[in-house]
A and B are shown apart, each in its own frame.
Chain A
Amino acid sequence: MGQIELKQVTKSFGTTQVIPPLDLIIQDGEFTVFVGPSGCGKSTLLRLIAGLEDITTGHIEIDGKGATDVVPAKRGLAMVFQSYALYPHMSVRKNIAFPLRMAKLDKAEITKRVEGAASVLNLTDYLDRRPGQLSGGQRQRVAIGRAIVREPAAFLFDEPLSNLDAALRVGMRLEISELHKRLETTMVYVTHDQVEAMTMADKIVVLNAGVIEQEGTPLELYRSPRNTFVAGFIGSPKMNLITGPEAEKQNAHTIGVRPEHIDVVESGGQWQGTVGVAEHLGSDTFFHIHNTGLAEMLTVRAIGDVSLRHGDAIHLNPRAAEIHRFDAQGLRIS
C-alpha cells in the first residue's frame, strides 16, 4: 500500500513561498512523475513527501495516516538520489543491506534480501566492490537496490538519470519502468525531462513556480493541455504557439500546433516560409522555418527524409482538428 495525499501543503524558505497551497493525491501503485523547468519546486515537493524538508503548513498523509510530523525514517518511503548518495566506505553488499540493518532484521534475512535484490539488478558480481569502483549505471542500480530491499510503501526518485549518458539513460528508463510493472509499488519520480515523463508515467504532474499547472495521463496532457505552459512543455519538439491575426481568425488569443500536426505540401499551402535549419534524422526531418509571418520560427516534423534544404521555400498545411486554442490568460478554449 502506498497512497500519498497532500492537503493544502505549503513551503516557505524564510519569507519566500516556494510552494503555494497545493493539493495532490498519488494513488497506490501509480507511477507519478513531477515534471517542470528547473526551480519549479518539483524537487522540494518530493523532499516534503520524503520528510527531508518540513512543510510550512498543511498535511501529508501516507496510506491514510498522518505523516506530517513523522521523521523520514518512519515514513516507509525509499528514495533514490540524483547523485546516487551511496555510502562510499561500504561495499555494494553493505550499501544495499544498510536499510535492513537499521531495521534490525536478522542476518539470514538480510543476506537473502540483498542477494535477491542484487540478482534482480544484475549486481551479483559486484557485491564486494566499493561504489568508487563502479560505473555510473551500476551505481544507480545499487541505489535502486538499496531502495527496493526495504519493500517500501513508495519509491521517491529525484532526477535519478540526470548524471548518466544518453544511451544509459534510455536503458535505465526501461529498467525502472519494468521494475514498476513487477513490484506494482507507488513511485514518485522527479525529472525536468519531459521525454522521461511521457515514457514512464501513469500520471504526470506539471509544475511551474510551485503550482500544479495540470495533472493527468501523458496522452491527456499531450492531447488537451490546459494552458500554454503545459502545451509548450509537453511534447518534443515543442508545440508552435502563434499569436496575432492568425490566432484571431480562429477566435483565440493564441493557437498552438504541434510540429507533427503540420503537413509539408508541394504548393498552395495555407502557410509559407523558408527553411532555416533542417535536421535530418532519417526517420523524421525537423524543419525550423522562418519568414512565415506567424511566429519568429515554426518547427515542423516531416516523416521520412524530405529533401528540402536551407533557404528553400516551403508550403505548410496545419491539421485543423489538431489546433489548440488559448485565451488571453493562456487557458485552453474548448
Chain B
Amino acid sequence: MNKRQEQGFEHPVPSDITPRGAYRDRRRFLATVGVGAAATVAAVAAQRAHAVPAADASHPGNLPLLPAIKNVALSTKEALTPYKDVTSYNNFYEFGTSKSDPARNAGSLRTQPWTVVVEGEVGKPRTFDIDDLRKLAPMQERIYRHRCVEGWSMVIPWLGYSLSNLIKAVQPTGNAKYVEYITLLNHAEMPGQNDPILQWPYLEGLRMDEAMHPLTLLTFGLYGEVLPNQDGAPMRMVIPWKYGFKGGKSIVRIRLVEKQPITSWMRAVPQWYGFYSNVNPNVSPQNWSQANERRIGQGGFGGLFAPRIPTQMFNGYGEQVASLYKGMNLTQDF
C-alpha cells in the first residue's frame, strides 16, 4: 500500500503505525520520568533489573520458576520449539499412547511429596527428597535438540544438571557398569499403566560412561519452570544424542548395576529397539527411515510446508560423544 497525501496529512502505511503496546509502554515510561530525576533513575534501573529475568522466563506454563544459569557452551542456537508444542505433543505411555494423551491425562499425577531411591552398586545408597535433589548441584539451562524415533524433533530449553553429579554423590563401586532408572508405578495416577502395552514400570538405562557424560542431563524443568506433569515431572532424564524414549520420566528409582539392563522397549519390540538407541540416520532397524526428521513448530501453514531436515549422526552431538562408541559396530549395536 502506498502512502497518501491528503489535506496536508500523511496517511501512514500499516507498518508505520506504532503498536498500541509499544506506545503505551512508552507513555508509562514517560510518566515515570515525570515523577522526578531521582525517581527516574530508580525506575529505569528497576525496569532493567526486572526486564532480564522476565525476558528469559516468560513463564509460559504458569508453573513455579526454577532459577538456573545458562550453559551457553552446551546449548544450540537453533530456534526453540514453542512451549505449547513441547507440552502438548509427546509420548508418555503411562498416560496413553497418543501424543496428545499426556497433556490431557497427566493431571492425575501427584508430584509432591516425591522421593528418589538411589541404590545398587554404590557406597552410599540414599533416598533423596526431590527438594534436596534440586539443590544437589547448580541448576543449568541447556538448549538441546530432541529427536524422537518416530521421525520428529524439537529444540527444548531444559533445566537440570549433569547426572554425573548425582552418581558421584552416592560413590559407585567398581561393579557399577550400567545405570538404570525407573519411572513411578501407580495405576491410579498413571492410567496408561492399566494397559499391558509395555512392562511397567518403565525402565531405561545407560552404560556408565554414557551416564557420566556431561551432556546427560538430570532434568527438573523446561522453559524456566519446573517440568509440567506430561513432560515427566518432577524429574526425568535427557540424553540429547539418543532417541527420546531413552529419557525416562517421573523417575523414582535409580539403580547402578553390573549387567546391561533390559529396557521396556527392548522387551516389547526387541528387533526394533536396542539398548543404545543412538540417533543414527543410517540405521533403521524399525520399519521406517531415520534419514530425516520433521522439526515441530517450524515453518508456515502450521508446519505443513516446512521441509524435513536431515538427521545428524548422534543428533549432532558426535563431536562430544562419538568417542564413547569407538570400535563398536553401530549397525548391530543399535
Query: Are A and B co-members of a single complex?
Result: no
A positions within 8 Å CB-CB of B: none
B positions within 8 Å CB-CB of A: none
